[in-house]
Each structure stands twice: as structure tokens, then as C-alpha cells.
Chain A
Amino acid sequence: MVLRAIFIKELRSYFGLFLAYAIVAVALALSGFFFYTDISFFMMWGGQNLARGLWEFFFHDLRYVLLLLVPAITARSFAEEKKLGTLDLLWTYPIPESSVLLGKFLAAATLLLVVLGLTLVYPFVLSHWHPEVHWPALIPGYVGLLLIGLVFISVGLLLSALTDSQAIAAMATLGVLVLFWSLTWNEQAMSEAWLHVLLQISLFDRFYNFARGAIDSQEITFFLFFFSFFLLLTWQALRARRWHGKGEFSSLGTFLATPSRKQWVTVAVLDLLILAGLVGLQTLSIRNNQRWDFTPTQTLSLSKQTKSLLADLDKDALLTLFFGGSPDAYQRYEDVLKRFTAENAYFQYRILHRDRNIGLARQYGATHYGTAVLEYDGQHKLLPGAGEKTITEALFQFLRQEQKTIYFVGGHGEKDPRSGQPQLGYSAAASALRNENFIIRPVFLARTERIPEDAALVVVSGPQTDFLPDELERLARYLSAGGSLLFMLDPMPAPNLTAFLAQYGIELDQDVVYDPQNRLFGGDALSPLVSLYNTGVEIVRDFQVGTIFPLSRSVEPADPLPDGVLSAQPFCRTGPGAWARFRAGADSPEGAVDFEGTKARPGPISLAVAAMLRRDQAASPNPSDQPTNGTAPPASADAEPGGRLVVYGDSDFASNSRLSLLGNRDLFLNTVQWLVQEEGFITERPRDASIQQKISTLVLTTEQTRQLFLITIIAEPGVILLLGMLVAISRRRHRR
């Protein structure tokens, strides 16, 4: 009852105070401004990954709002009462200090909740324009903000209880909080042991995972312990009023001479014991951490591929990370490494400062900050970091020993797997393949009688000229022997190739795909964005990421299919707003209409077809009249499948500059794995932090942006300010 009375009185005094409204209004204007700039930033960068990225930035920014808001809220709680003398009067009432403290704590927390609640207007407004606001992903961020806010409040209450000046209380609170914030700024000067300790108490770094969309039980207990301890200190400060004297701290001599030093020492010892206990509990809680991942794509959990690899790990694997960069990297890597160890205890790691372990680093050849070394079964491998993707690829190579060879056809101006050129090079694709344990070799059809025996796959990556009939003959033979072919063909006239592919039921037109609707912000209409997949095809089963095909042509299965073809299925399609525009002078087939002055076929346009050939008939590539439904699922199981063939109407999607865009890399690797008949490896791979997850193009019109500005920065704080003015006016009227 006492607690409730204090709580209600505190709340009433907040809500009766114009200053409180003004502070809340400023905080809201500031967070509105952050939201507005964050969202502008996001639109500028392609509006990608709204589900996570936008909120992550926004939550990080809200911390700064709390950093300013909370000291302003808490400063008055004790300082003002001390100045008025009302606190002394309160202590003559039959109430314990704890009730007063908790009442004030809860009142400040309620005000904090109100402010946080008012920021929910932003996602609400956004969800009106953009249906993809993933509400559950906001939960961890808000839980984290609440927890960090409670810690701020407990620090603010302590400092308010130590002084009778609101200004000093506010400034000191801000100072202490900034100190906690800046703890890890000068990370270069610290050893790994110290950095580890400091990261444990660095409030702002502990917020990292909440903002990203995961709740860790260890972080919750950390914040709970943190503010409980500060509340304990505040409670002691309130009780100490009874026995400590004025001027006790003017010098050590006077302090030692005071009779209350005994009590101070007792309190200090008690606090150290409690602190040690809390640290112990926290250690336990770290050991038993439980993670709740609220991200729509489970970004903060290990990927399926990593988990299945770790399940096969049955010998010790040791990863040594030589850090020296920012503590951000340290923490992010440690977070990942912890997950690996939690998944399989055979995986162990250590994190060492490179400059302090220079001998060991040299021995491993770790020349850079952030280099990691993975040791397994007597082998070791240098890794450029300790991200999930990097480690998983290295594990993959250790665990999947069998190597298959992929031949890249050369001689027609194909994109070169050895070239690092952004547009025309395929080195990134080649290295991704090597990471999946493939050997990459070139092959020149004009000079080779036959495709080498060990070829698991032959890739034709964007030829600039047509193939000679001889060359195609070799490919056909290889295919009929059960080989696999991957064609990636850009828009260009190549009658021989077109005829060759037509034998396998794959039709290429002389066109360019144009999509004015579905494209990335900043991208042009010639780079269609694909988000429709035929999930009946193994390659894109469970595939949910968008892919981008700059300058592409249409690829359609023939209807009916030729006899030797078991199935030919399109699996990547543009949206219905796309067009296939025919080249001038090319034959435009039926269904072509006028589109902006040229002949065109309306979307959806297929950009890739996967075909399976019959083993027995693959050798006779003669078109048959027997009708087969092109989009039917693969034919009966008794027909033994032969060669495999995938044709993309684009080769740029796997070039160095595009491979890391959205899901391009996964699509490319999945295609290869399907072609080499390793469907087991068609999987969702771990991603680089920079690679976006789920495509959700966020485009707001100028009008919407203006409305957003008005609502978040002007209207909401304005309403609060107006309320404050009404309260102030009614109070003034009320006076006699």
C-alpha cells in the first residue's frame, strides 16, 4: 500500500509537471528524427532487409534517446525532495526506505514504458504503407531497451540520492552512463582478458543482440543483476543518511576519524560479497544461455548447413582467432563461436590478441587482425575471419573429402573463373565452388576431342560468340553419357546454341527482359528481380531469397517436349509486370504485343529452365511430336534419369559484382550441386553479415515520406507538448 501510494504520487507529480511533458516531447522528437533518418537511409540503400536492418539501426539510436531521457527523468526523484526537505519528513513516517525507492523506481520505469510505447507509432504507421513489418522481430529490441532503460534508471536514482541538486544528479548520471558506454572505445590498449571483462560490463555492447532480434537469457540476467545492484546501492545510500556525517569525505584523515567509517567499511565489504555472488550467478547464467531468435529468417541461429556439418564432427576442431580490430568484431565473432561450441563440444575456440601472441600468429601465418586458424585432424587452414560462413566452408572442406571437378568452357569470350574483374570475372563464383570442395579447370572444346572423364559438370558462362557445330557435338556426347551442363547465356544472337538447346526442349528467344515494376531501388528496369520460384524444382526448394538478373533473356521450356527429355521446368520467373522485348529484326512469336514501340511478350517471363534427360534416348536429340507437359513434375520413377541441363538467360548474376547480391550466390551454388547430383548439399547456407536476407523492397512516395516526417517529428511530440501546456494552464487556473 505504501509502495502503491508512493508510486501513484510520483506518477501524478510527473504528469502534473510541464517539464516532464517537455522532456518526453523532446525524446519523442529525437526518436522520430532517428526513425525518419534511418528509414531514409534504408531507402537510399535499396530498401532492403526491412525485417531486421532498419530496426537494428533504430534500436541502436533509441539507446541514445534513453541516454538523454533517463537522467532527466530520474534527476529529480530524490534530489528535489532532499532540497525541499520533504524526504526527511518522509523518513519520519513508518515506512521502510525500500518502499520509497521501489515506488520511485517503478514510476520512472512507467514513464519510460510510456515513451517506448509511443515509439510503437512508427512501425504502426509504416505497416500501413508496407505490409512487411514483422512485429515479433521488434520484441527483443523493445525488451532490450526496457532493460537498458531500467539500468539507466537505477544509476540515475543512485546519483539522485547522493545529491540535493537536480542538475548535478542529471549530469552525474549522464557522466556515469557515458563512462559505461565508452568502456570499450580504447580497445587497442587492452589485453584480451581485460577486453573480455569490460565487454561483460559494457552496457551498450550487451544491447547488440537485442537490437538484432534475439533475446538471450544471459543478457536478461545481466541487466537484472546490474540494476538490482544499483538499487541496492541506492537503498544503502538512503539508509546511510542516518549515520554518516557532513564533511566525511573532505579528506582521508577526517574520514578515518569519523565514527561512521566502520559502517562504511561494513557496507563496502557487504557490497563486494554481493557483487561477487552476482558475478557467480551471471557466470552460471552464461553457461546455461538460452537464445530466442525473433528474426523472420532465424538469422541469429546457425544455418541448416552448419548444423548438419557440426553433427558430423567427431574429432576435436580448434579455432584460434587473432583479433586486434574493433571490439565489435571480437564480440560478433565470439557470439558466433559460442554457438558453434554449443552445437558440438568437439568444436573449441580461443581468441587471442594478435600483437600479444605474435609468435604463435607467425607460426600459423596469421598476418592480419581478424585472421583465424582452424585446426582439424592434423591439418590447419587460415581463414579471413571467424564468421559462420567462413568457418562452415572450412569445415566443409575438412569433412567432405571427395573432390569433384568442374570444367569451365573457354574460347568464346566466356566469363573467366580466374578473373577478378567485377563485371566479367567469375573468380568469386570459382572460390565459392572451391569452398564447397570443387576443383575448377578450364576446357577448350575446339582443342579437345572429348570432355575429360573426371568432369562432374561443364559450365558455359556467358559466351560472347556462337559455338561451332563440332563443339556442340562434343557437349551433346558428354550429355548423352550422363553428363551435366550449365549454360548461362546473355542476350545475343547465337543460332547454333539456340538450335542445340532446342533439341533438349529449351527455347531461347532473341529478347531482353525488361521489368519496370519489380527492381531494386537504384537498379534499372533491365535488372529484373526474381522472387517467384517453382519450388517443385529441387534447386529452389525452400528458396525464399530474391535474386537479380541484370540484362537477361527469356528461357522457356518447349511445349511439347522432345522425346529424349524427361522433364524441363522453368524455376525462376519475373513478376507479371515484366516484359520480354524482342530485338529489332528478330522473329517475334505469337502473343507479342506492342510495348513502348517495340514488340514484346508480357510477363511473367521465365529466366531459367532445368531439364533432365532420358538416359536411353539422350543420344538421339531429335525432336519428337509426342506431347509432354513441360511443367509436369518429373516423370515416373522407373525412367532412369540421364544427363542434367540447366540454362539461365543471364550470366551476370554470378559475376563478381553480383554474386553476393541477395540470394544469387545460393542460387548459383544450389544449381551446381543439383547438376553434380549432390542434392543433399542444396541447402540454406550461412550468409555474410552484409548479404541481405528476405527481400522486402521499401519504397515510400514523397508524400508518404512527408507524412512520416509530420507524424513522427512534428505531430506526436507536438501532442505531448500540447497536453503538457493544458496541464500547466489548468493548474495555473486552479490557483487562487
Chain B
Amino acid sequence: MIEASGLTKLYGTFRAISDVSFSVDHGEIVGLLGPNGAGKSTTIRILACILSPTTGTARVAGHSVLSESLAVRRQLGYMPEHVSLYPEMEVATYLDFAGKLKGLGGTARRVRVSQVIEELDLGSVTRVYIGTLSKGYRQRVGLAQAMLHDPSVLILDEPTIGLDPEQAAEFRQLIRGMRGNRTVLLSTHILPEVRMTCDRVMILARGQLLALDTPDNLTHRLRDASEVVAHIEGPQSEVETLLHSLPGVHEVQVTSQGNGGATSYTVRAAQHEDVRPSIVEAVAGRGWRLFELRSREMDLEEIFHRVVDQPQP
């Protein structure tokens, strides 16, 4: 549904993105992650036909954003960052206006406008000026205008920014509901959001695409060690020495000091080594008490930081 190949954008001499290529399938929800200034907005604005790439091409819904931008825009709903709408217009008037611009004729437009109003629960604010709406409502109006012409591709730039947790959850629910019907590309820097909503994650940093995969694959791919957290009551230095001596263990760290009780240790071992049974055995052999033993999964945040902090090739 979205295919980008070799997208590069220069602002003057500044390289905003450099040779970005990826593709998104129909019905997929893809999250675009990256720190500020990574090139997320530039990528999104190229796909939404606001900007042209300096080199490279992109096709959205089968049309080139360069030569068939009108056809692209007919298939595309876009919701900008800091949803910018006309503050002096009423919600219903605005949606009607947007419908006209999107080429919806009389009846079809009225039907669609009332559909999105219902879908996004905007019924109570149809006659309110957009300028006086709360952030959450404004966000919904922004999504409403993007969905108005039933586009096959939705591009959302930071859709949940500024929403309270409840609103954000609702919003994610809404987007998850589109899986399979619409292709959604959303940029965000809230990591849990990606895990919760997206099928795949795309990580951009310094204008380069560093990773594009499912969150699970990414975790798997990036895992270079297994970590075990153990809660042990015993003399600290002896415990440390013992843990170190176990086969496969690289590193032992004291995570928290037990005050007369158990001390928490983080044990790092080689990637496919499960050191838990040997820990149980060794601790029991010394007569120390084991309170907790668990394997720690890598979370997306770590993956993200790891990917982003990777030295440039």
C-alpha cells in the first residue's frame, strides 16, 4: 500500500532523511518511532504529498506521490501533528467543507459526515467552534476529517500527543479497530503505544531508517544476552562470587541492597543459556534462601535505545 524507495530530502544543505526505503502492506498498522529531529515528520509529509523528496520516489495506494499526487490524495487521509484546523469554524461546517474539498457530492457527503460524527462520538459538539474545543475533541475532529472520504491509507502524525491517558487509550482502541481495513502509518514517540497498536515498528534516527519489523522480532533480533533477576538472602560477596562462578554467566550486578533481608542480583548470561536451574542448585547447596527468580524480557524501550544508540556504520 505504501512503498518508499530511496527517499532523501535536503533542506538547503541539511539532510533531513537519507535513502529511506520501506514498504507497508494493505491493512497493516505501522508505527514510526524516532527521537526528535529523526526525520519522522519529513517522511510523513512526503508521503502525504506536502513535500517532494529531493531524490527517491514513493507510491501510495499504487500511485506515485510525485506524478500522480492528486490520485494519491484521493486515497489518503492525513492528520497533522498539533491538529491544525480553522478555529473560527463550527465542527459540522468544517467537516462539510472538508467533504466538499475531498470531492464528496451532496448526499454522500451528508451521510459520511454524520457517519464519522457518530464513529468518533462528536455528536455533542457539532455546533461548537473548533477553537473552543478541548484537545481530545480537536484530535477527534482531526481524525474525522482524515477519515471523511473513507481513504484506504491513513497517515497520522503524533495522534495521541497531548491526550490524557483515558483519551489516548480510546484513541488506540479506535486505530486498532481499523486493522485489516485500512493501512495506517502513525508516528509517535510513546513506545508502549506502538506495542499496543502497531503490527510493525519502523525506527528512524538521524534521518536513517534503522529498523522495520514486528516488535517481537525486533526483541528477538536484538537480544544478545539473557537476564535473570534473583532475590537471595545470604552474605553478599559470597553470593556474588558464587553466581560469577556459574557456567555461562558474564556479569553479576547488585540491583538492590537487602537491609538484613534478601538482596537482588541481576545475572547476565550468554543469549541462549538459561542459568536459572544452576542458580537454584547452587543457592540451595549453600543453604541460602532464594526468594525470587525470574527471567527478564527486553522491552521496546531498550530495543529502541539500543537501535538508536548504535554507532553509525
Whether A247 contacts B11 by the Cβ 8 Å rule is yes
Residues on A lying within 8 angstroms of B by beta carbon are 1-2, 5-6, 9, 13, 16-17, 84-86, 88-96, 241-243, 245-248, 250, 254, 257-260, 731, 734-736
Known: A5-B97, A16-B88. A245 touches B73 (CB 8 A): no
Whether A86 contacts B100 by the Cβ 8 Å rule is no
Whether B73 contacts A94 by the Cβ 8 Å rule is yes
CA distance A6 to B102 in the complex (A): 12
CA distance A212 to B84 in the complex (A): 49
Interface string of B92-111 (1 = CB under 8 A from A): 00000110111100000000
Interface assignment of B70: CB less than 8 Å from any CB of chain A: yes
CA distance A248 to B9 in the complex (A): 13
Known: A242-B51, A731-B129. A96 touches B70 (CB 8 A): yes
Known: A245-B11, A731-B129. A93 touches B101 (CB 8 A): yes
Known: A1-B100, A85-B84, A254-B12. A92 touches B52 (CB 8 A): no
Whether B100 contacts A88 by the Cβ 8 Å rule is no
Closest chain A residue to B149, Cβ basis: A94
Interface assignment of B50: CB less than 8 Å from any CB of chain A: yes
Whether A86 contacts B73 by the Cβ 8 Å rule is no
Q: Which of B14, B50, B85 is within 8 Å of A92, CB to CB?
A: B50
Report the minimal beta-carbon distance from B25 to chain A, rounded to whole angstroms.
22
Q: Which of B84, B102, B127, B132 is within 8 Å of A94, CB to CB?
A: B102
Closest chain B residue to A6, Cβ basis: B101
Known: A13-B86, A96-B70, A242-B50. A90 touches B11 (CB 8 A): no
Report the minimal beta-carbon distance from A127 to chain B, rounded to whole angstroms.
39
In the bound complex, residues from chain B placing their C-beta under 8 Å from that of A242 are 49-52
Whether B97 contacts A9 by the Cβ 8 Å rule is yes
Report the minimal beta-carbon distance from B128 to chain A, rounded to whole angstroms.
6
Q: Which of A84, A89, A94, A246 is within 8 Å of B11, CB to CB?
A: A246
Whether B101 contacts A241 by the Cβ 8 Å rule is no
In the bound complex, residues from chain A placing their C-beta under 8 Å from that of B86 are 9, 13, 84, 86
Q: Which of B14, B45, B103 is within 8 Å of A247, CB to CB?
A: B14
Report the minimal beta-carbon distance from A621 to chain B, rounded to whole angstroms.
92
CA distance A91 to B129 in the complex (A): 23
In the bound complex, residues from chain A placing their C-beta under 8 Å from that of B265 are none
Interface assignment of B242: CB less than 8 Å from any CB of chain A: no
Interface assignment of B76: CB less than 8 Å from any CB of chain A: yes
In the bound complex, residues from chain B placing their C-beta under 8 Å from that of A245 are 9-12, 14
In the bound complex, residues from chain B placing their C-beta under 8 Å from that of A2 are 100-101, 103
CA distance A241 to B101 in the complex (A): 20
Closest chain B residue to A251, Cβ basis: B12
Report the minimal beta-carbon distance from A268 to chain B, rounded to whole angstroms.
18
In the bound complex, residues from chain A placing their C-beta under 8 Å from that of B48 are 92
Whether A254 contacts B13 by the Cβ 8 Å rule is yes
Interface contact tally, CB-CB below 8 A:
101
11 contacts between A and B (CB under 8 A): A1-B100, A13-B89, A84-B86, A85-B82, A86-B85, A92-B76, A93-B101, A94-B74, A94-B101, A241-B51, A260-B54
CA distance A96 to B14 in the complex (A): 29
Whether A248 contacts B82 by the Cβ 8 Å rule is no
Report the minimal beta-carbon distance from B255 to chain A, rounded to whole angstroms.
46
CA distance A247 to B52 in the complex (A): 17
CA distance A731 to B54 in the complex (A): 45
Interface assignment of B80: CB less than 8 Å from any CB of chain A: yes
Whether A85 contacts B101 by the Cβ 8 Å rule is no
Report the minimal beta-carbon distance from B283 to chain A, rounded to whole angstroms.
60
Report the minimal beta-carbon distance from A660 to chain B, rounded to whole angstroms.
60
Interface assignment of B78: CB less than 8 Å from any CB of chain A: yes
Whether B49 contacts A85 by the Cβ 8 Å rule is no
Whether B97 contacts A92 by the Cβ 8 Å rule is no
Known: A13-B86, A257-B12. A92 touches B73 (CB 8 A): yes
Whether A90 contacts B101 by the Cβ 8 Å rule is yes
CA distance A259 to B12 in the complex (A): 8
CA distance A2 to B132 in the complex (A): 27
Interface string of B116-134 (1 = CB under 8 A from A): 0000000000011100100
Whether A92 contacts B78 by the Cβ 8 Å rule is yes
CA distance A133 to B101 in the complex (A): 47
Whether B129 contacts A84 by the Cβ 8 Å rule is no
* Apart from the given pairs A85-B80, A95-B73, A247-B14, 20 other A-B contacts in the complex at a CB distance below 8 Å: A5-B101, A9-B86, A86-B84, A88-B80, A91-B50, A92-B49, A92-B50, A92-B76, A93-B101, A241-B50, A242-B51, A243-B52, A246-B11, A247-B12, A250-B12, A258-B13, A259-B54, A734-B127, A734-B129, A736-B132
Complex interface residues of chain B between 59 and 86 (CB less than 8 A to chain A): 70-71, 73-74, 76, 78, 80, 82, 84-86
Closest chain A residue to B100, Cβ basis: A5
Report the minimal beta-carbon distance from A723 to chain B, rounded to whole angstroms.
17
CA distance A245 to B15 in the complex (A): 10
In the bound complex, residues from chain A placing their C-beta under 8 Å from that of B85 are 84, 86, 89
Interface string of B30-59 (1 = CB under 8 A from A): 000000000000000100111110110000
Report the minimal beta-carbon distance from B163 to chain A, rounded to whole angstroms.
18
In the bound complex, residues from chain A placing their C-beta under 8 Å from that of B98 are 93
Report the minimal beta-carbon distance from A245 to chain B, rounded to whole angstroms.
4
- Of B9, B13, B85, B101, chain A has the most CB atoms within 10 Å of the CB of B101
Closest chain A residue to B46, Cβ basis: A242
Report the minimal beta-carbon distance from A8 to chain B, rounded to whole angstroms.
8
Report the minimal beta-carbon distance from A26 to chain B, rounded to whole angstroms.
21
CA distance A243 to B101 in the complex (A): 24
CA distance A259 to B16 in the complex (A): 13
In the bound complex, residues from chain A placing their C-beta under 8 Å from that of B45 are 88
In the bound complex, residues from chain B placing their C-beta under 8 Å from that of A95 are 73, 101
CA distance A243 to B66 in the complex (A): 11
Closest chain A residue to B133, Cβ basis: A736
Closest chain A residue to B65, Cβ basis: A242
In the bound complex, residues from chain B placing their C-beta under 8 Å from that of A86 are 84-86
Whether B12 contacts A258 by the Cβ 8 Å rule is yes
CA distance A245 to B80 in the complex (A): 20
CA distance A258 to B15 in the complex (A): 11
Closest chain B residue to A247, Cβ basis: B12
Whether A93 contacts B11 by the Cβ 8 Å rule is no
In the bound complex, residues from chain A placing their C-beta under 8 Å from that of B11 are 245-247
Closest chain A residue to B45, Cβ basis: A88
CA distance A84 to B80 in the complex (A): 11
Report the minimal beta-carbon distance from B83 to chain A, rounded to whole angstroms.
8
CA distance A84 to B103 in the complex (A): 23
Whether B76 contacts A248 by the Cβ 8 Å rule is no
Closest chain A residue to B129, Cβ basis: A735
Whether B132 contacts A735 by the Cβ 8 Å rule is yes
Please give me the 9 A-B residue pairs with the lowest Cβ-Cβ distance, nearest first. Answer: A85-B84, A245-B11, A5-B100, A92-B78, A94-B73, A247-B12, A242-B52, A94-B74, A246-B11
Whether A94 contacts B12 by the Cβ 8 Å rule is no
- Of A92, A245, A246, A259, chain B has the most CB atoms within 10 Å of the CB of A92
Whether A88 contacts B13 by the Cβ 8 Å rule is no
In the bound complex, residues from chain A placing their C-beta under 8 Å from that of B55 are 259
CA distance A243 to B128 in the complex (A): 37
CA distance A576 to B61 in the complex (A): 89
In the bound complex, residues from chain A placing their C-beta under 8 Å from that of B97 are 5, 9
CA distance A384 to B178 in the complex (A): 86
In the bound complex, residues from chain B placing their C-beta under 8 Å from that of A736 are 128, 132
CA distance A258 to B9 in the complex (A): 11
CA distance A144 to B63 in the complex (A): 47
Whether B52 contacts A93 by the Cβ 8 Å rule is no
CA distance A17 to B73 in the complex (A): 31
CA distance A85 to B80 in the complex (A): 8
Closest chain A residue to B8, Cβ basis: A259
In the bound complex, residues from chain A placing their C-beta under 8 Å from that of B9 are 245
Report the minimal beta-carbon distance from B164 to chain A, rounded to whole angstroms.
19
In the bound complex, residues from chain B placing their C-beta under 8 Å from that of A248 are 12
CA distance A206 to B268 in the complex (A): 85
In the bound complex, residues from chain A placing their C-beta under 8 Å from that of B52 are 242-243
Closest chain A residue to B104, Cβ basis: A1
In the bound complex, residues from chain B placing their C-beta under 8 Å from that of A243 are 51-52, 54
In the bound complex, residues from chain B placing their C-beta under 8 Å from that of A258 are 10, 12-13
In the bound complex, residues from chain A placing their C-beta under 8 Å from that of B100 are 1-2, 5
